[in-house]
Amino acid sequence: MATIRKINSRAISTNETGFGTNSEYSGGRFYNKDGTPNVEVDGVGFLKKISLYNTLLKMSGIKLFAVILIFYFVINLTFSGIYLALGPGNLGGADNDSTLNNFWEAFFFSAQTVSTVGYGHIYPKGLPTNIFAGMESLLGLLAFAFATAIIYGKFTQPRAYINFSHNALIAPYNNGRAVMFRMAPYKHNHLTDAEVKVTLAMKLQEDGKVSNKFYSLPLEIPKINSLTTSWTIVHPINEQSPFYNLTNDDLRMGSAELLIFFRAFDESFSNFVIARSSYIASDFVEGAKFRLMYHPSEDKQTTILDMAKLSEFDKVDIPILNEIKN
């Protein structure tokens, strides 16, 4: 793996990221683009590693509905098979005139039992059938309680609803350069006391060893009172910046990654919400500037935030900084 040997000596590194400094024990990027940690847990059993609640909570609404529907049909198919195996005489009131009709009678009896509806047209006869019907009704109560908790948690889970631009730009800034990326809320949730922290991660060669180095980046505006439109995060590239004199090749050789941590108070949830993202070396675009993504409405009474323009930029010329005099 190619690495750069040194970085701006005036840049101050930090070890407050939670990641180790030895690059031999880490692989790939630290955070995925969607903000999830790029870490896989090993050394424990499958059931201990998987959190069913969290997995279902993070699913999209369509996938969650599909899982509930599949589980509902599997339970009913399983118990209808049990009722059929116990014999046709174990379900009172059922029309046992054909195999297909027996199946449907058992299936809908199972559906009525698992939901505790119990219309009464078909009823269990005999101890074995009553035992299985009681087990199914208990399973139904537990399943519906669990599904209710998942649905409630999904609707009430605090989320930032923030989109980040696809790229981070090296853009002109105050007769110099700056690293910029952009974020914007895509819901009507009102975010206040919004703040962002940005850390640059690099793999550097020191004393014949490759180490992970982390640099907390000073920002032009790290905190704002309210986030209602887009927010362009700006890190000026000056003589204290770790980006000073780094080229795109340096960023790629050093496996550069920009770690983004966003936090704000959401008045809808009455709670703090967070969002994370990251940009790797291939996501940086040098010599570019974001296009304006909001404009007034036709009657000049409303501001229109165009989320389709969040990642749009134009190529521009930027000045080249002088070398540092060490």
127-156 and 99-114 helices, crossing angle to 10°: 50
206 part of a folded domain: yes
> pLDDT of 274-300, one tens digit each?
999 999 999 999 999 999 998 898 998
> pLDDT of 134-147, one tens digit each?
999 999 999 999 98
Q: Which of 105, 135, 156 is the last residue of a domain?
A: 156
Instruction: Quote the domain boundaries for residue 78.
Output: 48-156
Give the per-residue pLDDT at 324: 39
Neighbours of 161 (CB within 10 A): 16
Residues 138 and 196 in one domain: no
Residue 276, CA distances (Å) to 27, 87, 143, 161, 279 in order = 19, 57, 33, 11, 11
Residues 152 and 262 in one domain: no
User: Rounded mean pLDDT of the chain?
Assistant: 85
Residues 286 and 302 in one domain: yes
Most confident of the ranges 11-15, 104-108, 150-154, 233-237 = 233-237
Residue 266's pLDDT band (boundaries 50, 70, 90)? very high
pLDDT more than 70, % of the chain: 89
Residue 123, CA distances (Å) to 76, 95, 228 in order = 16, 12, 59
Give the per-residue pLDDT at 42: 78
7 part of a folded domain: no
Residues 72 and 128 in one domain: yes
Residues 170 and 131 in one domain: no
Please work out, in degrees rounded to the nearest 5, the angle formed at the alpha carbon of residue 259 by the alpha carbons of 291 and 51: 115
Task: Please tell me which residue, 35 or 233, carries the higher pLDDT value.
Answer: 233
Question: What's the domain count of the chain?
Answer: 2
Residues 152 and 164 in one domain: no
Beta-carbon contacts of residue 141 (< 8 Å; ≥ 6 apart): 116
Give the per-residue pLDDT at 154: 84
pLDDT more than 90, % of the chain: 43
Average pLDDT rounded to a whole number, residues 231-243: 92
